[in-house]
Amino acid sequence: MCYNYGMEEKIIAIKNWLGTGSINVFGLPMSGKDTVGVRLAEMLGAKFLSSGMIIRTMEAEQKSHMTDSGQLLPTDIFYEWVLPYFGRKDLENSPLVLSSVGRWSGEEGEVMRAAENGGHPIKAVILLNVSEAEVLKRWETVKEAGKRDLSHTTSIRADDKDEATFQTRIREFNEKTVPVLRTYQQMGILVPVRGEMSREQVFESVVDELYKFASR
């Protein structure tokens, strides 16, 4: 995809500032974390690392269903399954874009230590600000699309299978992840971005806000 010179200049500046560091992206379920994260990683020449994807893969391998109810993975298992990725050889010398790695209050310290020890210090945390009403609307749209077309590219995950489960995920975010974000805010590395725009506008805002943050 072609970008104007201003966008390219900002991407280059962010890459130079980031080095082999990490950017962690947070937001409510259906806020677009993975969409933004994958595209940002592509633009920065970074590796994308989603704790949700890792956890779902591990659950499938072990025939476990701990997160199917919408609740977060217990911290001790999160440490065992996810944190070792920071030390992987295939991620060495690459910057990382993370999707909600460390969602439970208290996990942020261990995540930052593991990232630092792996050579990927967390330099910024993006928060995609999307209202609960909007994410519920998005969930309903995806669910209806899935009913109409079984080959629809956006499928409902096991932990999004019904509204009660989806509401549990929202509640878990508010109760357990919001305190994590407050910690990052106190550290001065939280970068809030409006998330209720088109995908293109959200991505441009992410780049703009990161560029401003990196230029401080």
**Is 167 within the bounds of a domain?**
yes
Q: What is the CATH number of the domain that holds 59?
A: 3.40.50.300
Q: What is the pLDDT of residue 172?
A: 94
d(CA 135, CA 170): 9
99 lies in which domain range? 19-214
Q: Is residue 12 part of a domain?
A: no
Residue with tokens 């995809």: 1
Question: 139 lies in a domain?
Answer: yes
Q: Which string of DSSP letters, residue by residue, matches the chain?
A: ----HHHHHHHHHHHHHHTT-EEEEEESTTSSHHHHHHHHHHHHT-EEEEHHHHHHHHHHHHT--TTTTSPPPPHHHHHHHTGGGGG-GGGTT--EEEES---STTHHHHHHHHHHHTT--EEEEEEEE--HHHHHHHHHHHHHHHHH-TT-SSPPPGGGSSHHHHHHHHHHIIIIIHHHHHHHHHHT-EEEEE-SS-HHHHHHHHHHHHHHHHT-
Residue 9 lies in a domain: no
Q: Does 8 reside within a domain?
A: no
Q: Is residue 1 part of a domain?
A: no
- Rounded CA-CA distance 73/55 in Å is 8
Give residue-wise pLDDT tens across range 184-210. 999 999 999 999 999 999 999 999 999
- Counting the structural domains of the chain, the total is 1
**pLDDT digit string (tens) for the chain, length 216 residues:** 444 459 999 999 999 999 999 999 999 999 999 999 999 999 999 999 998 888 888 778 777 776 767 778 889 999 999 999 999 999 999 999 999 999 999 999 999 999 999 999 999 999 999 999 999 999 999 888 765 443 334 445 555 678 999 999 999 999 999 999 999 999 999 999 999 999 999 999 999 999 999 998
185 assigned to some structural domain: yes
Residue 94 lies in a domain: yes
Residue 57: per-residue pLDDT? 82
User: What pLDDT sits at residue 73?
Assistant: 83
